[in-house]
Structure 1
Amino acid sequence: MKYSLKQLAVFDAVASQESVSAAARKLSMTQSAVSMSLSQFENVLDRPLFVRQGNRLLLSHWGRWLRPKAKKLLQDAQQIELGLHDQQSISGQFSLSASQTAAEHILPSLISKIDTDFPELRIDLMVENTEHVIQGIINHDYDMGVIEGRNDDHRMHQETLLEDHLVVFTNPNHSYARHQTVSLAQLEQAKWILREQGSGTRHIFDGAVHGEIDDIHVWKEYQSVSVIKALVRNGFYLGCLPYLDVIKEVNEGSLVILPTPELDMKRNLSFVWRKDAGENPLRDCIVAEARRLVRRYKKQMDNTHLALVYP
């Protein structure tokens, strides 16, 4: 074979970092060694794998074609190494990107459990909205993601982790807080503080009101869940967030969930990864541990008022 796994790893790192110097730091190599390895790899293939755009190295047509195949070869090599060393051994780096709800309410317990049971497995976590999670996985920036709502990209594999729902909420002094039900007409008259476009939460909300409410008065949009809750607590606005994100404030009495029976805002939290990613023991381990964690949550919540429905 005319190329090596090391050259594939260098190519993948440069593609990920869009920089030779950043790739060198990631691989603990010198910049000159990375440049030489990449140059030799391109010479062997007789194809340019990158094009320079300012200070960034972006994948060429050939580079985009090669990257998923290189990624799979590297993952297969890692699996072979793990199997030869110890079939039960789970070790290495795994990059995970998640939307806010999962990052705040599910993943801390999961990562803590992984750190205890699999100390050689290192999870790098990035918090993004759903649109950016999916794009990052498509671009090979992350090994796996956790998203809210639906994914329509045919290149992605999706597996539901749990089901929950969004709620409309306000502060206890809002006039709607005294209503037994809030109608669609009343919702249309309100001022809203919502998540930004591209978030899974906003996608579910927009889908629920589409065809039901002609004109939603969106006063402000924010990426931060904490900012949305603070504004709704201190002003006469309505907000819409996952139940998990507001239950603490509802129990404390600073926010009130409004009964909106005409809106259906159920959604899933799901794992997603590229269909062409191949087998990955680290991913399998994380998914399995997450499912065990959710089952334990379900048993705990069966005796509480927490309105989550698990698959």
Structure 2
Amino acid sequence: MQHLYRFSLKQLSVFVTIAETQSVSVAAQQLAMSQSAASMALSQLESGLGQRLFERQGKRLRLNHWGHWLRPRAKRILMESQHVMQGFAGQQIISGELAVGASQTIAEYFLAQIISRLDQDYPDLVISPQISNTESVVGGLLDYRLQLGMIEGHCVDSRIVQQVWCEDHLVVVAGQQHPLATKSQVNLASLSRARWVLREGGSGTREIFNGAIHGKITRLKVWREYNHVPSLIALVANGAYLSCLPWRSVEQAVQAGQLVRLTTPDLDMRRSFNFVWRKDSSQNPLRDCLIEQALALNTGSIPHPSLDLLS
């Protein structure tokens, strides 16, 4: 019968931390252990598995094929072990750390409110937020860096579970001096002739916009792409460009007279904000707690401008 190697949680923790820092010495500092002890733990893990897990590139350690295969599985084991230890230690079930990925609009307008509510009711729960676009949030779930995602738009990956949170919509905006700013309605031909500055590919905002113009505008003049919404607003306010952004992101600029919301009856850009997590993840009371608080926040308290332009 083939001998099965029994690795330890300590060895997996050292491996994961080295993978994240690309350095044995930095990993040892983070784990409050000596560099020699960290090196020994990694060596024992590699020896027991019969495979090297890293390639050395200068002073950096980078994962090889086997290391990339092991990393998400090791993180899942460590995550599950943390839940077990908390349970047997008699701690409150709503305690510990929850790694949450949020896309920009959600992070800017809702995440702080959710964390504030959780701090009041569950002081032992620590939310570790990572702000990125939808594509990166889903990637963080798939490699076990995140336990919950809050994204704009839909995820079609079969490995991901999705739950609708609330509704939202996008609008096309122009600066006050833009030639289209005075039009009562803007047709597709005018949109196709305009110059655009947009969110980057991989963002939920760009995904919804691309879906709205698909089959309607064949060539769009995209001059710049940025992941920073204030930069897009500033460029549009200058008068030379159009952009498509969440209403929540531009509402103040429209009210202040910096931007004009264009009427675009040919584009339906309604969307939803969604919770996402790995399908193969175990039950997670911390995740469920955050979702519950977010849903409560949404009940009658999230402003939703009229969708009369789309009706």
- Where does the alignment leave 5 or more consecutive residues of structure 2 unmatched? none
2:61 is paired with a residue whose SS is: strand
- Which whole-Å CA distance do the structure 1 matches of 2:164 and 2:96 have between them? 25
Partner of 1:85: 89
2:299 is paired with a residue whose SS is: helix
Q: Report Cα offsets for 1:229-279 as digits up to 9, x if no partner.
A: 111112232111011111111222322211111111122222223323323
1:32 aligns with 2:36: yes
Equivalent positions of 1:219-238 (< 5 A) are 219-238=223-242
Following superposition, the deviation at residue 282 of structure 1 comes to: 2.3
1:171 aligns with 2:171: no
Equivalent residue letter for 1:277 = S
Q: 2:145 aligns with which of 125, 141, 148?
A: 141
1:288 aligns with 2:292: yes
- Which whole-Å CA distance do the structure 2 matches of 1:14 and 1:271 have between them? 30
TM-score, with structure 2 as normaliser = 0.88
Partner of 1:61: 65
- Which whole-Å CA distance do the structure 2 matches of 1:260 and 1:135 have between them? 33
- Where does the alignment leave 5 or more consecutive residues of structure 1 unmatched? none
TM-score, with structure 1 as normaliser = 0.88
1:44 is paired with a residue whose SS is: helix
Following superposition, the deviation at residue 209 of structure 1 comes to: 1.0
Q: Report Cα offsets for 1:23-62 as digits up to 9, x if no partner.
A: 2233233322222111112222222233334444333333
The alpha-carbon distance between structure 1 residues 74 and 279, as it changes in their structure 2 partners (threshold 3 A), is farther
Count of equivalent residues: 304
- Which whole-Å CA distance do the structure 2 matches of 1:175 and 1:161 have between them? 37
Partner of 1:4: 8
- Which whole-Å CA distance do the structure 2 matches of 1:44 and 1:296 have between them? 56
- Which whole-Å CA distance do the structure 1 matches of 2:58 and 2:137 have between them? 25
1:150 aligns with 2:151: no
- Relative to its length, the structure with more helix (as a share) is 1
8 Å CA contact 1:160–1:271 kept in 2: the answer is yes
- Which whole-Å CA distance do the structure 1 matches of 2:60 and 2:295 have between them? 39
The alpha-carbon distance between structure 1 residues 138 and 19, as it changes in their structure 2 partners (threshold 3 A), is farther
8 Å CA contact 1:16–1:141 kept in 2: the answer is no
8 Å CA contact 2:93–2:285 kept in 1: the answer is no
Q: 2:56 aligns with which of 48, 52, 57?
A: 52
- Which whole-Å CA distance do the structure 2 matches of 1:132 and 1:56 have between them? 24
- Which whole-Å CA distance do the structure 2 matches of 1:180 and 1:31 have between them? 68
The alpha-carbon distance between structure 1 residues 193 and 68, as it changes in their structure 2 partners (threshold 3 A), is closer
The alpha-carbon distance between structure 1 residues 83 and 44, as it changes in their structure 2 partners (threshold 3 A), is same
8 Å CA contact 2:198–2:222 kept in 1: the answer is yes
Equivalent residue letter for 1:272 = V
8 Å CA contact 2:25–2:35 kept in 1: the answer is yes
The alpha-carbon distance between structure 1 residues 89 and 64, as it changes in their structure 2 partners (threshold 3 A), is same
Equivalent residue letter for 2:222 = V
Equivalent residue letter for 2:82 = Q
Equivalent residue letter for 2:29 = R
8 Å CA contact 1:18–1:56 kept in 2: the answer is yes
The alpha-carbon distance between structure 1 residues 108 and 93, as it changes in their structure 2 partners (threshold 3 A), is same
The alpha-carbon distance between structure 1 residues 229 and 59, as it changes in their structure 2 partners (threshold 3 A), is same
8 Å CA contact 1:72–1:278 kept in 2: the answer is no
Q: Report Cα offsets for 1:99-148 as digits up to 9, x if no partner.
A: 11011011111122222322222222222122222223323333332222
Partner of 2:279: 275
- Which whole-Å CA distance do the structure 1 matches of 2:244 and 2:113 have between them? 25
The alpha-carbon distance between structure 1 residues 91 and 35, as it changes in their structure 2 partners (threshold 3 A), is farther
8 Å CA contact 1:79–1:281 kept in 2: the answer is no
8 Å CA contact 2:177–2:239 kept in 1: the answer is no
Equivalent residue letter for 1:45 = L
Partner of 2:253: 249
Partner of 1:200: 204
Question: Which 10-residue stretch deviates more, 17-26 or 194-203?
Answer: 17-26
- After the TM superposition, which parts of structure 1 deviate over 6 Å for at least 4 consecutive aligned residues? none
The alpha-carbon distance between structure 1 residues 287 and 10, as it changes in their structure 2 partners (threshold 3 A), is farther
2:301 is paired with a residue whose SS is: helix
Following superposition, the deviation at residue 87 of structure 1 comes to: 6.2
- Which whole-Å CA distance do the structure 1 matches of 2:174 and 2:14 have between them? 51
